[in-house]
Structure 1
Amino acid sequence: MASNRPAPEFSHAPNDEFGYADEQPWEEWNPTEESVRPVRGRHRVAKQRGGLARSSTVLGVGVIAAVGAGGIATAQGGKPPVHISMPDLSAVKDALPEAKSLPGVGSLISDDSTDDSGTATNAAPLTTAGITTADAQQGATDAGEALRSRILQQAEQQQDQAAHAEATAAEEAAAKQAAAEATKTQDAAQAKADAKVAAAKKAAEEAAKKKAEAERLAKLAKSYTLPVASYTITGTFGQPGSMWSSGYHTGLDFAAPTGTPLKAIHGGVVKEAGWAGAYGYRTVLELPDGTELWYCHQSSLNVSAGQKVTTGDVIGRVGATGNVTGPHLHLEVHPGGNPTGVDPAPWLRNLGLTP
């Protein structure tokens, strides 16, 4: 470190412009090792750490100017001037960037600043802080405007997402509704088809049943026959009247001329043939299943007890014997030989015969 050169001698004290008009005349002073020892206390100079920062450029320039003016420091109170040893900051000054070129600082110093070559220095405004490259590409120069633009863009994106979600939900709801309606229509069509199939099946079953019954009756008809070929029904089963001892009619009356042949309805054995009081002449024919057929009011008998007959054999003739009002066949049906008979009409129809 180079020592300061001696300060020039002044013939008189500085003028009172600097506040030193009453001071004693200045004397030449050459510092020694003892005199330049660091002063302790409030006059102590802080040690520099790591060189000067960029923000100290102005202060450094001021210090250099002060040293260049003479490198002399004065002390108040009549103390003699002291030569201060300062480092050469010219190299540091040249290495430091211009304060005006620092981003956000140049605009604070002067909007019309120029560098040493006379070229205007573009000061970066503080408002450019926070501006991304994408914002700069979109022409944004203000951080607030850039933030506002990003917020609006995010809001638009959220609105687009909400609209898309709403549209998607509406499409899904419409699809579900259409699927439900399609399923409902399909179920209705399936139910209708099933009903048609069930009806057709039922109709087919009924037709088959009727056909089977007709075949059965046709087969039975070959082995069964009506007792009279030509007749008129004049009395039915259960008909009330005082002329019958039971109070009602117990058989089915086939009116026909006297002497009309009476046929065996089915093959069987003659159980009895003869006079039976109010029934007149009566023939009882027992069928293989035990059912008894009573032929009453006959004019004559053609068979006797114990005789076997087949379907259609003549067993007697129409007459008006017993308690009657005219010639006819009174037919009674006694299943299992029971004294109480049943209605002969449905019994005959069950055999395929229509009285």
Structure 2
Amino acid sequence: MGNHRAVRGEGQRTPATPSTAGKRRAVKQPSRSPLMKALPSTPILLGVTALAVSAGGAVSASGTDLDGYVAQHTTPSASGGMALGLTNATSALSRRDVVVSRDSRRDALADAADQELVEQTEAQAEQRNAVLEQLAQSAEKQAAKIKKNLWVLPLTSYRISATFGQSSSLWASVHTGLDMSAPTGSPIHSVANGVVTEVGYDGSYGNKTVVTLEDGTEIWYCHQTSFLVDVGDVVRGGEVIGTVGSTGNSTGPHLHIEVRPGGGDPVDPWTALVQHGLNP
């Protein structure tokens, strides 16, 4: 009665007897060395390397792929080679930046030189076009002036009866003009533009009209029957100024014409007419 066995109550569990049957032994995970503990994990290293590659530009210019480049410069070694690989990668990217920058400057300088050459060529072309334009305008003015002062033959129908420089008893000295025989009353035309500076009778020249051209050359028209202009009149080449006659020292109706540059000594009228595109 006095000795009672302890009764197991609910909630109290008898400790299990250790058994070796079916029991697994815990596997110890290898611990990281102090060097490996200090280094960041591989994903972080790859992320850092990717950022470096993005900042430095394309590194695979020689055909090396990105994975190979990262593996080459991030392989760990016993003496901390992984950190050294990252340093080498950064140095390589920096050198790449220097090369790219140098090439960019060279390209920029070449572009600037090309632009300057283009600008110089355009400026020279503009100057040349300006000179050509001035020459064209000058040529047009000269052509208009030549057309304006185009000489014409004084008679439409005639026969050369005496030339410049001939000697004869008919003249006190050599012949100073060109004689163009034509019927009395044939119209006489001014050979060029000018101003009438003399009209009247002049001894052996008979009735004479003098027209002074723009360059100062005087043209004498002698032996006329009649005058059709007065002193001060402005005449144009081809305009009728008088008629053929035989006044003064003359043996028959004809026009005696003289050409006197600057109002001085006479020159050969034939040569002067030829020089102005005429064929007497």
**Structure number, greater radius of gyration:** 1
TM-score range relative to shorter protein: 0.3 to 0.5
* TM-score, length basis structure 2: 0.47
Q: Which has the higher contact order (CA 8 A, sep 6+)?
A: 2
TM-score between the two structures when normalised by the length of structure 1: 0.38
